[in-house]
Amino acid sequence: MVFQVRPGRASDTDGKTALHVLLWQRALDPERGKWSLPGGRLGADEDLTSSVRRQLAEKVDLRQLAHLEQLAVFSDPARVPGPRTIASSFLGLVPSPATPELPPDTRWHPVSDLPEMAFDHGPMVEHARNRLVAKLSYTNIGFALAPNEFALSTLRDIYSAALGHHVDATNLQRVLERRQVITRTGTTARSGRSGGRPAALYRFTESRYRVTDEFAALRPPG
């Protein structure tokens, strides 16, 4: 599962961002025409991580991953037709500014509005999203979704999209600064057309995954 926080569809009127997953449309049976997660068989001379990176590069030409980790194993004997196939799922994250060029059969889809999915790939996406939500609470994994520098309003929108509920920018700042996850850059964003005081810019203190508070949870308001 490769996730990125992206603008909503062109038909959306609120202009809000949403968490998207990268899918490709199957051209052959079984499940022709349905959408699936990029993946494939493990090569005889590969470990799992090397195989994932190769297949993402070969199948969807994606190389801009800021984070990649193994998540779970799916082993239902009937999960795919034919010989029994066990799948190992991975979570990959692409930062918001990146705009990877995709093949014609590959698209970003909102996680909250998935198309008809092949095999058990729908539950795989849901499992990965739930793990990402949990990790946003107790780790610094937000670095893999955010730009190198950002205003708090931008970070709020990214966390809100990934978590699926509104996040207060002030509370988010307080929590992440207390855990030493983000720090001020000492610079400000350019003023918009409406003028006003330029927003302070922040960055993540590390671009390497780490646990910051193993018992923390970013819960919905109320």
pLDDT in tens, 24-54: 999 999 999 999 999 989 999 999 999 999 9
In a domain, 219, yes or no: no
The pTM of the full predicted model, rounded to 2 decimals, is 0.93
Range of the domain at 100: 2-138
Residues 6 and 88 both lie in one domain: yes
pLDDT of residue 24: 93
On whether the CB atoms of residues 40 and 27 are closer than 8 A, the answer is no
CB neighbours of 65 closer than 8 A, spacing ≥ 6? 2, 53, 56, 92, 93, 94
**Distance between CA 108 and CA 91 in Å, rounded?**
15
In a domain, 119, yes or no: yes
Crossing angle for the helix pair 169-178 and 152-163, to the nearest 10 degrees? 90
Phi and psi (nearest 5°) for 85?
Answer: -130, 125
Residues 156 and 66 both lie in one domain: no
Residues 111 and 188 both lie in one domain: no
CATH of the domain at 31: 3.90.79.10
12: pLDDT confidence band, cut at 50, 70 and 90? very low
pLDDT mean across residues, the chain: 91
Residues 113 and 130 both lie in one domain: yes
In a domain, 210, yes or no: no
Tell the burial category of 15 from Cβ atoms under 10 Å away from its Cβ (0-12, 13-18, 19+). Answer: exposed
pLDDT of residue 51: 94
In a domain, 213, yes or no: no
178 to 46, 173, 199: CA distances (angstroms): 41, 8, 20
Residues 18 and 103 both lie in one domain: yes
10, pLDDT greater than 60: no
CATH of the domain at 179: 1.10.10.10
On whether the CB atoms of residues 92 and 70 are closer than 8 A, the answer is no
What is the tally of structural domains in the chain?
A: 2
pLDDT of residue 9: 60
Residues 195 and 119 both lie in one domain: no
156-209 tens-digit pLDDT: 999 999 999 999 999 999 999 999 999 999 999 876 656 668 899 999 999 999
* Cα 99 to chain centroid, rounded: 14
Greater confidence (79 vs 13) lies with 79
pLDDT of residue 11: 41
In a domain, 217, yes or no: no
Percent of the chain at pLDDT above 90? 78
pLDDT of residue 28: 92
